[in-house]
Amino acid sequence: MSKLLVEERNLVIPGQEVATGIDYLPSVGTAREGENIIATRVGLLTLKGRVLKVIPLRGKYIPKVGDTVIGRISDVGMSGWRVNIGWAFVASLRLAEASERFIPRDADLTNYFDVGEYVACKITRTTVSRYIDVTAKGPGLRKLDTGRIIKCDSSKVPRIIGKKGSMISMLKEASDCRIMVGQNGIVWISGQDSDKELLVEKTIRLIEERSHEHGLTDVVSKYLEDNKQNG
């Protein structure tokens, strides 16, 4: 008989049997071992229909087509740019994907993006995670030339954004900052002054640290309230 051995949303550890029987199907972070399904990553167990999955609590960002990420220009070439998006391999931003405007062939590409600058872009193609294409054309995609960049663990991104963007909206409202969270865990914060930006960073660090707790929204809203008065 098939049976779930661990309650949903509970912490699982590699090797731990999470279900027995053939009715459940393993997906990300789980594997079949004979009769049983075991966890292969540290994380929280979820069940959708019959499919078991482990939501990781930590880990390197792995590029996925359709993800909006924030990257740092690492090289300027003849016909495009190299963008470091926090994965093992850099992504390519081709000339035709860089801007809605026409970029002439003989243009100085550093006028558009220079080494060290940050860009919000979207992943359009990947092959065996080694070749990655990104585009900077599309709503919200552009060079980020003010504000601060912070690095978070990519597994925390859903909590930083919150359900239907609730957490990020709360942060924006409390700080008056513009905030963009890349799926790769790179966050851009730009506001009137650096104190506001720092408050956003500190709040995000709090979310990261306590991301596995229930009632996180209340904790964050209280933290923002307390620190607004101080400021």
Tell me how far CA of residue 59 lies from CA of 29, 161, 164, 185, 212, in angstroms.
Answer: 12, 18, 23, 10, 15
Instruction: Say how many residues touch another protein, by CB under 8 A.
Output: 40
Residue with Cβ nearer another protein (44 or 170): 44
Residue with Cβ nearer another protein (135 or 227): 227
Phi-psi region of 140 (alpha: psi -120 to 50; beta: other; left: phi over 0): left
C-alpha span between 82 and 85 (Å, rounded):
10
Residue with Cβ nearer another protein (60 or 222): 60
Residue with Cβ nearer another protein (112 or 118): 118
> In 10 A of CB 58, how many CB atoms?
13
In the block, tokens 């912070």 appear at: 150
Q: Which of residues 112-141 bind another protein (CB under 8 A)?
A: 114, 116-118, 128-130
Interface characters, 69-108, with another protein (x: CB under 8 A): -------------------xx-------------------
Residue with Cβ nearer another protein (176 or 195): 195
Interface characters, 21-60, with another protein (x: CB under 8 A): --------x-x-x----x-xxxx------------xxxxx
Cα end-to-end span (Å), the chain: 59
Task: Choose among 112, 109, 122: nearest CA to 71.
Answer: 122
Residue with Cβ nearer another protein (2 or 129): 129
C-alpha span between 19 and 25 (Å, rounded):
9
Tell me how far CA of residue 126 lies from CA of 85, 132, 201, in angstroms.
Answer: 13, 4, 31
Applying CB under 8 A, does 158 fall inside the site for another protein?
Answer: no
Segment near another protein (CB under 8 A), from 74-82, 100-108, 161-169, 194-202? 194-202
Tell me how far CA of residue 100 lies from CA of 113, 122, 168, in angstroms.
Answer: 14, 14, 28
Instruction: Name which position in 2, 8, 9, 13 contacts another protein (CB under 8 A).
Output: 13
Binding footprint of another protein on the chain (CB under 8 A) = 11, 13-15, 29, 31, 33, 38, 40-43, 56-60, 88-89, 114, 116-118, 128-130, 144-149, 155, 194-195, 198, 210, 212-214
